[in-house]
Structure 1
Amino acid sequence: SDQIPLNRLKVDYVLCYKYKKRRASKPRLSVTSNGSLPVPIPMPITGRWDSEAESGEAGAPAGDMEESKLSEEEKALMREEFESGLLEAGLQLERDKENEAKGQITGFIRLHIPWPILSREAELQKIKVAVKKKCELRKRTGTAGAWDSLVTKVNTPFQPDVPDFDVHKDSQTNLHFKTLKHPFIRDKLHLYDINSTETVFDNATRSRIVAEIISRTTCRHSCQTTGEFYLSLSFFSMCLCVFKLLHEEWANYGVMHKYQPVDLIRKYFGEQIGLYFAWLGVYTQLLIPPSVLGIIVFLYGIFTVDTNVPSQETCDDNLNITMCPLCDGVCDYWHLSTVCSLARASYLFDNGATVFFAIFMSLWAAWFLEHWKRRQMCLKYSWDLTSLEDEEEEMRPEYEEALQEKKAKVKAMSKKKVYKYIYLHVYLLQINVSSLQH
């Protein structure tokens, strides 16, 4: 197969793993153009492995080396077999030989997806791509136009200074056009606004497609998933301007009053991080009404605390209300007026208006959930995530193994307690029988 230099490839994904330094081995995988040729499953590696390896390095695999149930030869065989599956799926692989030459115990594999495989997966996942036809944006006139202008002026200070990449302005006619998108079809490339195959899909989409291929690739003989020996890292080669925009318009305390540029966050960090910050923004925004209402309830308590009858009776020294001792023996009688400050402070947070605040919070919770569902569906539609199913996050192997060990210990302790309980009952039964005989 043809070999392509690494500096000409776009890194879409990175797989890292931990290994022990070995003395002899056969040549490892190199860059492969595509997976059209069948790749044989390699035989077990027969080289000797060093018995000692450094510990505590970054990028360590799941589980400790001493506690792992798999030998280094078995892990190497799994990696070789899985990499062969990635080659058969059409991905291009490049191993980081510099770390191996320096004697590092953490290895990296760079993954690149060629255009034929990328276009096929994009068509299967129905990812939307910009078409050549544009839509003209026209402003409304009359009362509706005046209302839109007012809302725009009010929201302008809260909007991040981030350009809308889907809206373009014609320099000659000064008209605004919006980019239209359609699910990608390989046979109709002439309909799409494509300048280069490397820039059709953004980095987050490319990494998501590669991650989907990785999740479908399994070993036929030695393993089932990559969780035992790989750590996956989606790799984004974002331009400096995007990083600068995020730093100025998002990761800055001076713009904390503005809305988050969730589209830009998604382009840089991916869909999952983008959805998380979108949820955080919606949650923070919807906390404003209960915060304002809570301040009103607190102010109502301040203005009405002097007219509250229980507080007046508690703080009135002339009534001379004597209370019983709080304890027996050492405690003495005490006057009710000594807890005047506590009674007045309690009324500030627990007054008549608190009932309405509790009713509002119960309705607010339902309102927040419904609003986030709508916002989430809008983001999934605009980010081309509607065709993907929500997958539960898999538990990492080291935590799963620790959980199993903990369950086994708890089960063993419970058995011991049961045996002690049975032995105690048998012992008491013997005592009762012997007493009856006497």
Structure 2
Amino acid sequence: MKKRFYITTPIYYPSAKLHIGHAYCTTLSDILARYNRMIGKEVYFLTGSDEHGQKIAENAAKANKTPQKFVDDIVKTFKDLWEKLAITNDDFIRTTDPKHIATVQKIFTKLLEQGDIYLGSYEGWYCTPCESFWTTTQVGEEKLCPDCNRSVHLASEESYFFKTDKYVEGLLKKYEETPNFITPESRKNEMVNTFIKPGLSELAVTRTSIEWGVPVRENERHTMYVWVDALINYISALGYLSEDDELFHKFWQSEDVEIVQILGADITRFHTIYWPMILKALGLRQADRYFVHGLLMMKDGKMSKSKGNVIDPLPLIDKYGVDAVRYYLAREVVFGNDGQFTPEQFVERFNVDLVNDFGNLLNRTVSMIEKYCDGVIPLYRGQVTEFDTEIEDLAINVVKEYHEHFSDLKVTEAITTAFKIISASNKYIDNTKPWELN
């Protein structure tokens, strides 16, 4: 078992306040961080905000704010939410941080000098909300973004490109040799069959039409493409290419660290195709696992800030408490699958699991200790019954399964397994009827 654990969430886009889908990703990541601390690993847990791009500039203008003031205000709400959700991140990286910007510029220069980046021109269909270019085939006759199903527009501009063809073969080999590199496996198959096999386009890494971005030092008319800027946060936060790079060597380059990157299904392409290629070009090690969680859906489809059909987690936290919200997010949807969120489902899960099962067990147990034992937990000196043996054997197996599930990032299954103890304990009380004992 490796001694260290580095876990990252995606860095979220501060175009508006976060919703329950962002809380889902960050909470599950936090649970994994807490578990690994509990078993004695040294953990570094990173989250943050992706603050550049066309959409940010447009939203700032609508709000009559500078882009920096706009993101400063939104990021404060991010941090407030994570505090309310009891998130235990070790750092919060912002792509407007000078340290991050300096690292991005150094990486661009390094890749340019070694021939992995070249200057060219690009024409394609551009989706502003997703900050992504698409081919004519991908947008289809209706000219809709394959990711968000919104309209795209034709754009043409000078750009620097990253030579993806140089790294495709190595990436496919990594996929083949490392079964858990991308989880679930269906996401890996999607990347291969949808993007790589049809012919992977070289990646545009700069824009000339967007001012709100990291400047390219070698060509002042260009700013970094927002996705390239954003991906680098995972190593810039650790001090890569800076004078203080102790964390980078400790939590990235070391062979004694497990690197797990949690991401949503809608950003799989950039994280599992382009990001590993950039790491390879830089001569750095790869992450151990990319875990792609599913999407929380509403009754009318995908939850999206731009669609306005989102659930704010803060009222749920205020009404039911942070533990109830964290439990629901971890328990209701199998980590890795899509699932639907409704307030009705939340209340039902809260009442059935936490009020009826766990709450009832806690109330019965504490009440009997108070009534029959003067509030002191007694030593058990009675005869060992079949019921005692059953629950002891179950507890031993539950602990074993719990650790196995967490080692495979199966958070929902681990929680479901742990809940067996609650169900069995309620049954144990019903069977043994301790209130009838003398």
TM-score, normalised via structure 1 length: 0.25
Greater C-alpha radius of gyration: 1
